[in-house]
Chains A and B, each alone.
Chain A
Amino acid sequence: MPAEQTMTLEIFRYHPETDSEPRFQAYEVPYDEDWVVLDAINWIKDHVDGTLTHRWSCRMGVCGSCGMMVNGDPKLTCAAFLKDYYPRPVKVEPLVNFPVERDLVVSLDGFMEKLEAVKPYIIRDDVNDTSGGEYLQSPAELARYKQYSMCINCMLCYAACPVAGHEDEFLGPAALALGHRYNRDSRDRGRAERLDVMLAGEAIWGCTFVGECTAVCPKHVDPAGAIQQAKAVAAQEYFRRFAMPRGAKDAGA
C-alpha cells in the first residue's frame, strides 16, 4: 500500500491570552487533490489541534467568511485548491490590514463601521408607501449597478489595498463599491447623504487606483473601477457645493 501523500501547512498562531507575539506552526495534512485549503484547516482543527481558530461557513464562495492570506495572497480558502500549491508548503495567515482577534480570525469592527457609513441600502422618503405598486426598473437600469451588487463582504480587497493598510479615514474598496452601487440604483434617492460621507477627508480620495482590490475580488465586482467612477461623481458634487455653498445639495439619483 503506497504511503499517504501529505503536505505542510504553516499556520499563523496568536492567542491573546498567552502570546505576546504571533508565531507559525507547521502541520502535516493528508494531500487530496480535491481538497481546498479550508478542508485542510478543518482537518487540522478536527484531528490535530482543536485550539486552532478560524472562520468559515458555506464552503462555496458565497458567505465570504473564510478569507485568509494564502502564500501572501488574499484568497477565499474554500476556493484555493491544495493541488495548486502541492508539493510546496502553504503558508496561511489572517487577512492583513486588519487587527487579529485570534489565530486566523480578524476583527471586523472597523470594516463594519465603514460599511455602515456609506448606507448600503435604498434610501427614499416614500419607502413605506406601496400605493403606487412596485418600483419598476428596466434591465438597463439594473445593468448600471448589478456588478457592484455582487460583493460578499469577504474583505479580500481590504487585504490587497495598500492604502487600507495605513489610512484609517479611507473607507476602502468594498464599502465604496457598495455605496456606488446604491448611488447608481434608479430607485435610490440617497446619493447626497452618501456623498456627504464620501467627500469627507480621505474617505474616497485616499484611493490611488492601485487596482489590486479588483485583481483579488472573487466575485469580479471591480471595486477599483467603482471607486474611480464614484470619485468623478464626488468631484462634480464637490465643485457644485463650492460654487453654490447655499444651494441645494445633490438631489439624488
Chain B
Amino acid sequence: MSGRLHRPQRWAWFLERPGYLLFMARELTGFFVAGYLVVLLVTLGRLGGGETAFAEWLQTLSTPGWTVAHAVALAASVWHSVTWFAAVPQAMPIQLGEKRLPAPLAAVVMGYGPWLTVTTIIVWGVLR
C-alpha cells in the first residue's frame, strides 16, 4: 500500500496552458523595461560627465545595433504595459454605488489615460 499519490509539478509547467505562456511573456518583458531604465541612468551619467561624453554616448546609441535593441525593447515594453493595463480593472476596480466601472473604461481611466497624458507632456517638453 502506497497511500496518497503526490504528483510533482512539471518544471516546464508554463507550457501546459496558453495563459501560462502569456504570463511568462508578460513577466519576461519586464527585463526590457528594466533595460530601458539602465540605458536612461547611463545616459544621465554621461550627461553629468560633460558635453563630449554625452555626445559620444548619443553617437553610440545611434548605431544599428542599438537601434534594433531599442525597437525590440520598445515592442516588449508596450506589450508589458498593455498587459498590465488590462489587469488594472481587476486589481483596482472602481465601485460606483452598486455598479462597477466597466473594465475597458477603467483601463482607460487608470491606465491608458494617465499614460497618454504623461507621454504627451514629455513629448511636448522635448520637442517644443
Contacts and interface: CB of A to CB of B under 8 A. Distances in A.
Interface of A: 14, 16-17, 19-20, 22, 72-73, 96-97, 99-101, 107, 139-140, 142-144, 160, 162, 165-166, 208-212, 214-215, 222, 224-225, 228-229, 232
Given A20-B2, A99-B6, A211-B87, A139 B98 contact: yes
Interface of B: 1-7, 9, 13-14, 16-17, 19-20, 23, 27, 87, 89-93, 95, 97-100
A172 to B, nearest CB: 14
Given A162-B13, A210-B19, A211-B23, A143 B97 contact: yes
Contacts of B2: 16, 19-20
16 contacts: A16-B1, A16-B5, A17-B1, A19-B2, A22-B7, A73-B17, A100-B4, A142-B98, A165-B13, A209-B23, A209-B87, A211-B23, A211-B90, A215-B19, A222-B90, A225-B91
A160 B23 contact: no
Contacts of B97: 139-140, 143
A102 to B, nearest CB: 9
B111 to A, nearest CB: 14
Contacts, number: 80
Contact of A214 (B4, B7, B17, B90): B90
A16 B3 contact: yes
Contacts of B91: 209, 225, 228-229, 232
Contacts of B92: 228-229, 232
Nearest to B27: A208
A103 to B, nearest CB: 10
A209 B83 CA distance: 11
A162 B14 contact: yes
Contact of A144 (B17, B20, B90, B95): B95
B95 to A, nearest CB: 6
B21 to A, nearest CB: 11
A144 B100 CA distance: 9
A30 B35 CA distance: 58
Closest 6 CB pairs of A and B: A225-B90, A228-B91, A165-B9, A100-B5, A99-B4, A143-B98
A228 B4 contact: no
Contact of B7 (A96, A224, A232): A96
B102 to A, nearest CB: 14
A17 to B, nearest CB: 5
A129 B27 CA distance: 50
B90 A16 contact: no
A210 B23 contact: yes
A99 B5 contact: yes
A222 B89 CA distance: 11
A143 B90 contact: no
Contacts of A22: 5, 7
Nearest to A228: B91
B83 to A, nearest CB: 10
B9 A107 contact: no
Given A107-B4, A228-B92, 7 more contacts: A16-B4, A100-B5, A143-B99, A144-B95, A160-B17, A208-B23, A225-B93
Nearest to B3: A16
A100 B7 CA distance: 8
